[in-house]
Amino acid sequence: MTTTIALVTGANRGIGLATARQFGARGWTVLVAARDAARGREAERVLRAEGADARFVPLDVTDEASVAAAAELVEREYGQLDVLVNNAGIVRADGSASPSETTLATLREVYETNVFGVVAVTNAFLPLLRKAPAARIVNVSSEVGSIAAMADPQGALSELTSVPYPSSKAALNMVTAMYAKELRDTAIKVNAANPGYCATDFNHHSGFRTAEEGAEVSVHLATLPADGPSGLLWGYQMDAGGGYGT
């Protein structure tokens, strides 16, 4: 029987690790793509302790050489890729988060990871996804990519409701739709997940809302039918220690 090979970027913690655990529990081979070797190996160890066939793959999505090396490794060792989850993403506080004070340096940094990184990784792995009988690309976007105002109940500006992060996720939604269009006559389905608040380090850093002490993120994956839609913005429910999903 052939195994499903799935690669998750930023899989060493947060939503990426929770997604990798779900894949591992399904008996899939999980490629734990992470830029930090120590944390990547630790995630690999955690997954293996749960019985998963997991392997750490070094990958910095902003580094073209690193992306190319990861794709070469997967081609050499596995020959194809069935599932690619572009999960790695960042948010940055740039002092005052008002749009008029947004710096290009911050904008560039956020886009490098959240948009350019997804395109770089997708293009590098596309030849391997084309070799799979039925492949999936899931881009982890955010509800703030389409409804930024909802992200802050107080209505104040923050890094989650100002220019860099939400606009990067809005761009990612469009990037997703364009890949879906290009690949519509292939065996590759492309979708974006638009989660709401999840209790991860991400929210510790952003200061938007602090994660509950000891809260764990769990991801519930919807199974899309093989002949299901592509290019739709697809919300998936996440339990986040009392948080909410879309």
- Interface residues with ligand NDP (CB under 6 A)? 9-10, 12-16, 34-36, 39, 59-62, 87-90, 113, 117, 140, 142, 195, 197-198, 200-203
Closest separation in Å from C-beta 184 to ligand NDP: 25
Active site residue 189: no
Judged by beta carbon, residue 102 or residue 142, the one nearer ligand NDP is: 142
Burial 31-42 (b: 16+ CB within 10 A, else e): bbbbbeeebbbb
Marked catalytic residue, from 169, 189, 197, 236? 169
CB of 4 or CB of 62, closer to ligand NDP: 62
Residue 26 or residue 204: which is nearer to ligand NDP going by CB? 204
Cα distance between residue 140 and residue 134, in whole Å: 20
3-state secondary structure of 240: strand
Find where tokens 């690619």 sit.
Answer: 84
**From 78, 111, 131, 165, active-site residue:** 165
Residue 242 beta carbon to ligand NDP: minimum distance, rounded to whole angstroms: 13
Known catalytic residue at 169? yes
Comparing CB distances to ligand NDP, the nearer of 35 and 130 is 35
Q: Count of alpha carbons within 13 Å of 237, Cβ hemisphere only?
A: 5
Q: How far apart are CA 120 and CA 63, in angstroms?
A: 9
> Considering the complex, what minimum distance in angstroms separates the CB of residue 147 from ligand NDP?
12
Residues 6 or more apart in contact with residue 47 via CB below 8 angstroms: 20, 21, 24, 30, 32, 54
Tell the burial category of 163 from Cβ atoms under 10 Å away from its Cβ (0-12, 13-18, 19+). Answer: buried
Residue 191 CB, nearest approach to ligand NDP (Å): 14
Q: Which residues contact 178 (CB under 8 A, 6 or more apart)?
A: none
Residues with a catalytic annotation lie at 165, 169
